[in-house]
Structures are given as structure tokens and as C-alpha cells.
Chains A and B, each alone.
Chain A
Amino acid sequence: MKYLLVTLSLLISVGAVAQQKKDKPVMDNWFAKKPTAPPPASPPPPPNVPLDGGLIGLIAAGGAVGYKKYKDRKKED
């Protein structure tokens, strides 16, 4: 009877230790299905069609055209 109780308690404790811990990853479990390949990559997003890339250049061009305009007017005067 004594041996039976010891054997039973040992079996229960081994079973309890072998349980999956909540904070441990699934990979530690022998029976867990291990991933075989990385998930497929999502397709690249469609290209953008920006138009305001040269905005600073256009502002500078506006300043230059204005400068030319007032310089020509000064010459006329």
C-alpha cells in the first residue's frame, strides 16, 4: 500500500511538471506543431505618384522670376 501511494504520487507529480507552462513558448512542448516555413510576405504597397517633390525649387524659381521682373523694370526706369 505504501509503495502504491509513493508510485501514484510520483506519477502525478511527473505529469504535473510535464504540463505546458502558460508563460513558456509552445516550442518547448514535444507535441506542439512546429512551424516549418516563415509566413508568406505581403505584396509591396503600390507606388506613390507625388507631385510636390520640387516645391522648394519652385518657390526659389518664383523668387528668381520676381527678381528678374523688378530688375527689368528698374532698367526701363
Chain B
Amino acid sequence: MLQILKRELPSGYVRFAIRFSAALLVLLVIYKTYLWFTEQKEDLDWITYQVSFLSHKFAVALGIADCEFSCFMDGCRIGVEGKMINVLEGCNGIKLAFVYIAYLVGVNENTRSTIIQSIVGLMLIQLFNVFRIGMLVMLMYHGGEVYFFFIKYIFGVFIYGSIIVLWLIKPLIDKSLQRYVQT
């Protein structure tokens, strides 16, 4: 079976797949352990809190002056009374960043480039998530069917599509980074 796989798959792919899976597993185990500890302390995890807090600030900046913000053990509620949204652990976008980083580790052609791209990617995904939740609070406030359309299609397609495009253009980013480091 392994021989057939080795023959059929391009060289280096098995190595990539193992590194990709291992990196993802390690990141998820660390994250789950952290979540377990915060649960034991009967506290909300720091990432969800920060994402919710910044989203609230962004929603206020968008013009929702009476936007409320309250946190519980399982997540935070943001919005105007009666038109709130619930930001839970699964909404913080960190798992998407883990998959993005795991791919970079799997390919790993240049350690420095991988580290830079991981940090920048993580920050970009989190910034987009803050923008997404802030916009959803605003759409919920103004009501209408647009909210459901955005949450179901627009934001999902955009973030998942962006991650795949970043993976595809990784060789170009590597080249640009190398040029930048050399100069």
C-alpha cells in the first residue's frame, strides 16, 4: 500500500502531508489544552475576548453608539438590545489561522519566510474577523435579509478564498521576501 502511494504521489508530497498534519495537530492540541485551562478557571479565553472587544470598538466606530458589550464564560454578546450577536469560541477564527500556518510549515522552504508569513497571516485573519463581526453587528442593527446573506456566503467565501489564494501565491511571496531581505 505504501509502495503504491509512493509511486503514485509526487515526490515530497508524503513528507508535506505528514508535516502539514503534524503541525495542525500540535497547534490544535496546544489550543485545546489552553481552552481546558481557561474552562477550569471558569474564564473566557483571551482570543475570543480580544476579538469580541475589538469588534465592539469597530462597531462603535461604524456609528452604532449604543452598542453594548457583555462577556460570559462561553462567549461575548455584542450589539444593541434585542439585536445582539453571540461571539463564541468557534467564531474567533484561530483555527483557520492554524490551518494556514500548518500549510506553511508543511511546505517550509525557508524558515524565516515561514515565520514571517505565519505571523502576518495570523494577524490578517484576526483583523478580517474583527472587521467581519463589526460589520455583522452593523448589519444586524439595520436589519433585513442582508445580514443572513453576508454571514452565510460573503464573509465565508472571502476568508476561505483568501487563504487558498495566499497558499497559491506563496512562491511569489517567498521571492519578494527574499529580495527584501537581500536588499
Asked if B151 is at the interface (CB within 8 A of a chain A CB), the reply is yes
CB distance from A69 to the nearest CB of B (A): 7
Asked if A73 is at the interface (CB within 8 A of a chain B CB), the reply is yes
Binding site for A on B (CB under 8 A): 9-13, 16-17, 20, 24, 75, 77, 79, 82, 84-88, 90-93, 95-96, 99, 102-103, 106-107, 129, 132-133, 136, 151, 155-156, 159-160, 163-164, 167-168
Asked if A48 is at the interface (CB within 8 A of a chain B CB), the reply is yes
- Separation of A37 and B155 alpha carbons in the complex (Å): 44
Asked if A32 is at the interface (CB within 8 A of a chain B CB), the reply is no
Contact for B99 among A43, A46, A48, A55, CB less than 8 A: A55
Contact (A51, B90) CB under 8 Å given A57-B160, A66-B20, A70-B13: yes
- Separation of A65 and B88 alpha carbons in the complex (Å): 30
A27-48 vs B, Cβ < 8 Å mask (1 yes, 0 no):
0000000000000000101111
A48 touches B86 (CB 8 A): yes
- Separation of A61 and B79 alpha carbons in the complex (Å): 34
Contact for B93 among A47, A51, A74, CB less than 8 A: A51
B90 touches A48 (CB 8 A): yes
Asked if A59 is at the interface (CB within 8 A of a chain B CB), the reply is yes
Binding site for B on A (CB under 8 A): 43, 45-55, 57-59, 61-63, 65-67, 69-71, 73-74
Contact (A52, B93) CB under 8 Å given A59-B99, A70-B12: yes
Chain A residues with CB below 8 A from B86, complex form: 45-49
Chain A residues with CB below 8 A from B107, complex form: 66, 69
Question: Which chain A residue lies CB-closest to B92?
Answer: A51
B16 touches A66 (CB 8 A): yes
- Separation of A43 and B86 alpha carbons in the complex (Å): 14
Contact for A51 among B85, B96, B103, B168, CB less than 8 A: B96
- Separation of A59 and B24 alpha carbons in the complex (Å): 9
Question: Which chain B residue lies CB-closest to A64?
Answer: B164
B85 touches A54 (CB 8 A): no
- Separation of A45 and B168 alpha carbons in the complex (Å): 40
**Can you identify 26 A-B contacts, CB atoms within 8 angstroms?**
A46-B79, A46-B84, A46-B85, A46-B86, A47-B85, A49-B87, A49-B136, A49-B151, A50-B90, A51-B96, A52-B93, A55-B96, A55-B99, A58-B164, A59-B99, A61-B164, A61-B167, A62-B102, A62-B167, A66-B13, A66-B103, A66-B106, A67-B10, A69-B16, A70-B13, A73-B10
